[in-house]
Amino acid sequence: MVSSAKLKSVDFYRKIPRDLTEASLSGAGLSIIAAVSMMFLFGMELHNYLSISTSTSVIVDRSSDKDYLRIDFNISFPALSCEFASVDVSDVLGTNRLNITKTVRKYSIDKHLRATGSEFDSGPVTNMLKHDADNDEEYGEGSVALNGRNFDRISHQHSILVVNFYAPWCYWSNRLKPSWEKAAKIIRERHDPEIDGRIIMGRVDCTEEVDLCRRNHIQGYPSIRIFRKGSDVRDENGHHEHESYYGDRDTDTLVNTMEELVAPIAMDSHLALEGKSGKTEENAKRPAPSEAGCRIEGFVRVKKVPGNLVISARSGFHSFDGSIMNMSHVISDFSFGRKINARVMSDLKRILPYIGVSHAKLNGQAYLTDPEDHANVTVEHYIQVVKTEVMRSSHQLIEDYEYTAHSSLMHAHSVPVVKFHFELSPMQVLITENSKSFSHFITNVCAIIGGVFTVAGILDSILHNTLRLVKKVELGKNF
CB atoms near residue 58 (< 10 Å) = 10
The residues, ordered by sequence, that sit 6+ positions from 183 with a Cβ below 8 Å of its Cβ are 142, 201, 251, 254, 255, 258
The residues, ordered by sequence, that sit 6+ positions from 344 with a Cβ below 8 Å of its Cβ are 398
> How confident is the model at residue 277, as a pLDDT?
40
**Which residues are the active-site residues?**
170
> How confident is the model at residue 237, as a pLDDT?
43
Tell me the C-alpha distance between 273 and 263, whole Å: 10
Q: Is the pTM of this model over 0.95?
A: no
Give 326: exposed, middle or buried? Use CB within 10 Å, 0-12, 13-18, 19+.
buried
Tell me the C-alpha distance between 19 and 21, whole Å: 6
Distance of CA 205 to the CA centre of its chain: 37
Mapped onto helix, strand or coil, the DSSP state of residue 227 is: strand
> How confident is the model at residue 135, as a pLDDT?
58
> How confident is the model at residue 234, as a pLDDT?
45
Q: What is the phi-psi region of residue 352: left when phi exceeds 0, alpha when psi lies from -120 to 50, beta otherwise? A: beta
> How confident is the model at residue 394, as a pLDDT?
62
Mapped onto helix, strand or coil, the DSSP state of residue 23 is: coil
Tell me the C-alpha distance between 109 and 157, whole Å: 31
The residues, ordered by sequence, that sit 6+ positions from 122 with a Cβ below 8 Å of its Cβ are 82, 101, 106
Could you tell me whether strands 285-287 and 377-391 are parallel, antiparallel, or unpaired per DSSP bridges? unpaired
| Tens digit of each residue's pLDDT (9 = 90 or more) over 195-254 | 878 899 999 999 999 999 988 888 899 999 999 875 444 444 444 467 889 889 999 999
In the predicted model, residues of the chain with pLDDT beneath 50 are 231-240, 269-283
> How confident is the model at residue 65, as a pLDDT?
64
